[in-house]
A and B are shown apart, each in its own frame.
Chain A
Amino acid sequence: MSRATLRTLIVFVVVSVIVFTLPAFVNDFRAQQFSYVGIYLVALIGLNILTGYTGQISLGHGAFMAIGGYTTAILMSDHGVKDIVTIPIAIVVTGVAGFLFGLPAARLSGLYLALATFAIAVAMPSVIKRFEGFTGGGSGINLFGTPELTASLTPVRLFGFELTFNNWLYYLAWSIAMIGYVIGWLLVRGRTGRAFRAVRDSETAAVSSGVSLARTKALAFGISAAYAGAAGALFAIATTYVNPDTFPVALSIFLLVGVVVAGLGSLQGLIVGAIFIQFMPLWAQNISKSPGAPAVVYGAFLILVVLALPGGAAGLIARVLQLTRRGRDFQKP
């Protein structure tokens, strides 16, 4: 086992321990906020596989989250399926949708892809509103009516512990996030990940090495969308209510902000990105109570990171590690 792999494993174990003992130290409200961090983390892993590793920009991941969220909501309210069971179904449905979108999208290069995915994010709410019979239209789908399918009323028992709804949500979100992280890590360091990076770095070189552009891009889209679907399903369970405004254009953009802040093409910084998405609006409220303040701060951060810190949080960590190592080498006689 190489040193890098060992270090990754140690960091992963430490982070897991912190993550799984956290609810014991924080109140119920914080637990809920940190559940959202977990949910965003799931979506960010997916987006980074697509944008960071495969180089395909997506400004429409909120739309994929909407597909996942609505799959869960419709299954729960119309078909009486238990919430946890809907998650894998949402993953499959969204993954297939992403793959199908990826097939034609694979022919679009950088800029045009950004355009097409952005248009999807903008158009999604009006599509949802139009097919009212299926999606509940503008008034959305309420999951309060079916408390027996989720943990909202009755506490969940797990290994002899009784969990409140928010603690249960927290463990659900973070379990999926950790599993998703491991799968993502295995994926990007293997053969598929190499193909992804080859497509990102040079399409021409990738093709001449025998990588199928169309298949690789569509696969990246499918996997990425599957993550977004899981995040969307969790989002629906967490808010117990979905309507077209649950997944606005802003969500798609915030996800991109999260990935850029975390560092494109690196899984390590993603927790920073997820924390940023969840808590930045709250911090921004300290600057100004105006509802516009969070967007200004998000935007300013996004530009600053691109201008001053292209590697994002992960790049910063790597740079600091490199500096300390250089200092250590320097001290050696």
Chain B
Amino acid sequence: MAQFFQQVVSGIASGGIYGLLALALVLIHRATGVVNFAQGEMAMFATYIAWTLTTNHGVSYWPAFAITLLASFAGGFGIHQAVIRPVERGSQIRVVIVTIGLLLMLNGLATWIWTGEVRAVQSPFPGGTFEIGGVAIAYADVGTIAVCFAAVIVMWAFFQFTKVGLALRAAAVNPNEARLVGVRVPLMLGLGWGLAAVLGAIAGMLTAPSVFLDPNMMQSVLIYAFAAAVLGGIDSPIGAVVGGLILGVGLNLIGTYVDFIGSDLRLPAALLVILIVLLVRPAGLFGKPEVKKV
């Protein structure tokens, strides 16, 4: 039973990371109406910035963390203004292709700048575990969970209680009417991309200590985040977080107790989740079913 709870706790930790990245995907989907395939690579790139700050420039961890978040925000905003805005009003397929182009470019740039070598990243949290009722819990897991929840709460408060947050929601829900009441829609959508990049950067920096840093680090995390976002409903922020947690815990338990799946078939299992949800309940757990106008 101790093993079960241990798996649940570490599942919540990784689920929190999936949830953060899924939340980033949902933010962009609400703002631009597409899935951002470059979300994982943006997170990876941010993680490299944090790594190079701490390793090569002698910045200590948390200041480097803060600088990375600022850089990510600027990066996300810049990407939206430079390449997404011109195609935003056209067909979906073109925006998707642009995000794929971004995926390739960021992946190549990271290899170009930092070489493809695998890097070890130190965890900001102390190593080791502590015990509660016979269950050994890693400090790193608790730290990861705390950071994830703090990020989600800050994000929620921002959207719920600030004027900019309200304008952002308005711009995403109804761009034309938002423009009529004086919201600068392109600026707001850019802000949305910036915030998504920040969430992704947090997810990337939390992922790196456990898997090592390399340019393909976020590829599988992105698939889990896709699965989480689809499971929760691609338009629902709460759904993304809950979907991430369900997926993290579920995959951990299945990986431990179902021999056939083990650790090799975790990715295909996530794919199966995506397919089943899309076929059975395309709106996800928390989403509203889409109504098509003829």
A residues apposed to B, CB below 8 Å: 51, 55, 57, 59, 104, 107-108, 110-112, 114-116, 118-120, 122-123, 126-127, 129-130, 204, 249, 253, 256-257, 260, 264, 288, 290-303, 306-307, 310
CB distance from B231 to the nearest CB of A (A): 12
- Kindly identify which residue among B98, B113, B275 contacts A104, using a CB–CB cutoff of 8 Å: B275
Chain A residues with CB under 8 Å of B111's CB are 290-292, 295
- Provided the pairs A107-B279, A293-B112 are in contact, do residues A123 and B94 lie with their beta carbons within 8 angstroms? no
Q: Are A307 and B87 in contact, CB atoms less than 8 angstroms apart?
A: yes
- Provided the pairs A296-B112, A302-B104, A303-B102 are in contact, do residues A126 and B267 lie with their beta carbons within 8 angstroms? yes
Which of chain A's residues has its CB closest to B222's CB?
A122
Given A119-B271, A298-B101, A307-B87, 17 additional A-B pairs, CB 8 A: A55-B93, A107-B278, A108-B282, A118-B37, A122-B219, A123-B271, A253-B100, A256-B97, A257-B101, A290-B115, A291-B111, A292-B116, A295-B111, A299-B103, A299-B105, A301-B101, A306-B98
A228 to B204, CA, bound (A): 34
A130 to B274, CA, bound (A): 20
Which of chain A's residues has its CB closest to B115's CB?
A290
A97 to B98, CA, bound (A): 29
Q: Does B24 contact A (CB under 8 A)?
A: no
Chain A residues with CB under 8 Å of B34's CB are 111
Q: Are B97 and A123 in contact, CB atoms less than 8 angstroms apart?
A: no
Which of chain A's residues has its CB closest to B277's CB?
A112
Q: Are B87 and A120 in contact, CB atoms less than 8 angstroms apart?
A: no
B residues apposed to A, CB below 8 Å: 34-35, 37, 83, 86-87, 92-94, 96-98, 100-113, 115-116, 215, 219-220, 223, 226-227, 230, 234, 264-268, 270-271, 274-275, 278-279, 282, 292, 294
A303 to B227, CA, bound (A): 26
Q: Count the A-B residue pairs with Cβ separation under 8 angstroms: how many?
A: 144
Q: Are B104 and A114 in contact, CB atoms less than 8 angstroms apart?
A: no
Q: Are B267 and A111 in contact, CB atoms less than 8 angstroms apart?
A: no
- Kindly identify which residue among B93, B103, B107, B267 contacts A292, using a CB–CB cutoff of 8 Å: B107
Q: Are A119 and B279 in contact, CB atoms less than 8 angstroms apart?
A: no
A329 to B115, CA, bound (A): 56
Interface of chain B: mostly helix, strand, loop or mixed: helix
Q: Are A307 and B109 in contact, CB atoms less than 8 angstroms apart?
A: no
Q: Are A130 and B264 in contact, CB atoms less than 8 angstroms apart?
A: yes
Chain B residues with CB under 8 Å of A264's CB are 93
Chain A residues with CB under 8 Å of B109's CB are 292, 296
- Kindly identify which residue among A51, A129, A295 contacts B104, using a CB–CB cutoff of 8 Å: A295
- Kindly identify which residue among B98, B226, B265 contacts A126, using a CB–CB cutoff of 8 Å: B265
A249 to B268, CA, bound (A): 14
CB distance from B275 to the nearest CB of A (A): 6
Chain A residues with CB under 8 Å of B264's CB are 126, 129-130
A116 to B279, CA, bound (A): 11
CB distance from B221 to the nearest CB of A (A): 11
Chain A residues with CB under 8 Å of B219's CB are 122, 249
Q: Are A111 and B96 in contact, CB atoms less than 8 angstroms apart?
A: yes
A137 to B66, CA, bound (A): 43
Chain A residues with CB under 8 Å of B105's CB are 295-296, 299-300, 303
CB distance from A245 to the nearest CB of B (A): 12
Which of A104, A108, A299 gathers the greatest number of chain B CB atoms within 10 Å? A299
Chain B residues with CB under 8 Å of A291's CB are 111, 116
Q: Are B96 and A57 in contact, CB atoms less than 8 angstroms apart?
A: yes
Q: Are B97 and A127 in contact, CB atoms less than 8 angstroms apart?
A: no
- Provided the pairs A118-B37, A119-B274 are in contact, do residues A310 and B94 lie with their beta carbons within 8 angstroms? yes
CB distance from B201 to the nearest CB of A (A): 20
- Kindly identify which residue among B100, B220, B267, B292 contacts A59, using a CB–CB cutoff of 8 Å: B100
Q: Are A295 and B275 in contact, CB atoms less than 8 angstroms apart?
A: no
CB distance from A314 to the nearest CB of B (A): 16
A111 to B32, CA, bound (A): 12
